[in-house]
């Protein structure tokens, strides 16, 4: 399926053209239409299959097409397990947001807490974060998620392996439940802990599993 067939906003099509991509990967082709109609999503596919754009493009489409619920709160939060992945996802997001009026920040463990607090006071639209540190900022009331429209969990299985279950639950509890959409990506869906937390976070999700095991 070609990117031009998804009905993305023109500004997104420009970014995709800039990246030089024409055809969606399989996970993108299956996941993006579900995400774009506002459904919760439980998805898995192997490393290198293009999951980052599978959630960032629908996220961007959504913020273009809808009005913010709040001026203060982030509209999109992406949770990732590690600092390395946070940096990768954040740099991909920065490319997509270049030339737009949308702002973004990176909140990861091991960096200065007060500097992050100051960045959060600028009311960024997108937050890419590791769960422990974002949960700390929520606890300190540095950020509120009542206006959150989209919660994305990337490599949720690894977040659980790293002991982030409680932080993930705290972030979920702070987030708007009525209007929020959740996109949940995991290397495997064949795991009790993954399914337990997915059942807590997701509402009637579409299930998209590409490749082995499903």
- 24 makes contact with ligand ADP (CB under 6 A): yes
Which residue of 43, 53, 170, 210 would you call a contact of ligand ADP, by CB under 6 A?
A: 53
**Cα gap 178→163, rounded to integer Å:** 27
- 51 makes contact with Mg ion (CB under 5 A): yes
- 49 makes contact with ligand ADP (CB under 6 A): yes
Nearer to ligand ADP, 54 or 120 (CB): 54
- 50 makes contact with ligand ADP (CB under 6 A): yes
Token digits of residue 196: 């337990």
Token digits of residue 144: 């509120």
Please list the residues that pair with 207 across neighbouring strands.
Answer: 42
Q: Which does 48 bind (CB under 5 to 8 A by kind): Mg ion, ligand ADP, none?
A: ligand ADP
- 61 makes contact with Mg ion (CB under 5 A): no
Distances (CA, A) of 148 to 43, 74, 84, 100, 182: 21, 6, 24, 19, 10
Instruction: Name the minimum Å distance from CB 121 to ligand ADP.
Output: 31
Rounded to a whole number of angstroms, the distance between the first and last alpha carbons of the chain is: 21
Nearer to ligand ADP, 47 or 112 (CB): 47
Neighbour count for residue 160 (Cβ, 10 Å): 19
Exposed, middle or buried by CB within 10 Å (0-12, 13-18, 19+), for 41? buried
- 110 makes contact with ligand ADP (CB under 6 A): no
Q: Taking CB under 6 A as the criterion, which residues in 111-130 touch ligand ADP? A: none
- 52 makes contact with ligand ADP (CB under 6 A): yes
Neighbour count for residue 83 (Cβ, 10 Å): 15
Nearer to Mg ion, 3 or 55 (CB): 55
Report the interface residues with Mg ion, using CB under 5 A. Answer: 51
């Amino acid at each position: 399926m070609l990117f031009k067939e998804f009905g993305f906003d023109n500004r997104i099509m420009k970014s995709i053209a800039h990246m030089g991509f024409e055809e969606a990967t399989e996970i993108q082709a299956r996941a993006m239409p579900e995400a774009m109609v506002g459904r919760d999503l439980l998805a898995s596919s192997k490393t290198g299959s293009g999951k980052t754009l599978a959630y960032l493009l629908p996220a961007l489409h959504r913020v273009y097409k809808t009005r913010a619920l709040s001026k203060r709160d982030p509209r999109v939060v992406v949770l990732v397990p590690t600092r390395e992945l946070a940096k990768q996802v954040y740099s991909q997001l920065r490319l997509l947001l270049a030339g737009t009026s949308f702002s973004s920040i990176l909140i990861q463990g091991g960096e200065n807490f007060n500097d992050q607090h100051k960045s959060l006071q600028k009311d960024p639209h997108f937050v890419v974060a590791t769960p422990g540190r974002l949960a700390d900022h929520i606890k300190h009331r540095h950020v509120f998620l009542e206006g959150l429209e989209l919660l994305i969990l990337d490599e949720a299985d690894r977040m659980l392996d790293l002991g982030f279950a409680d932080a993930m639950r705290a972030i979920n509890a702070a987030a708007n439940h009525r209007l929020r959409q959740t996109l949940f990506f995991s290397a495997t869906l064949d795991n009790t802990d993954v399914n337990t937390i997915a059942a807590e976070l997701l509402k009637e999700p579409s299930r998209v599993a590409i490749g082995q095991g499903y």
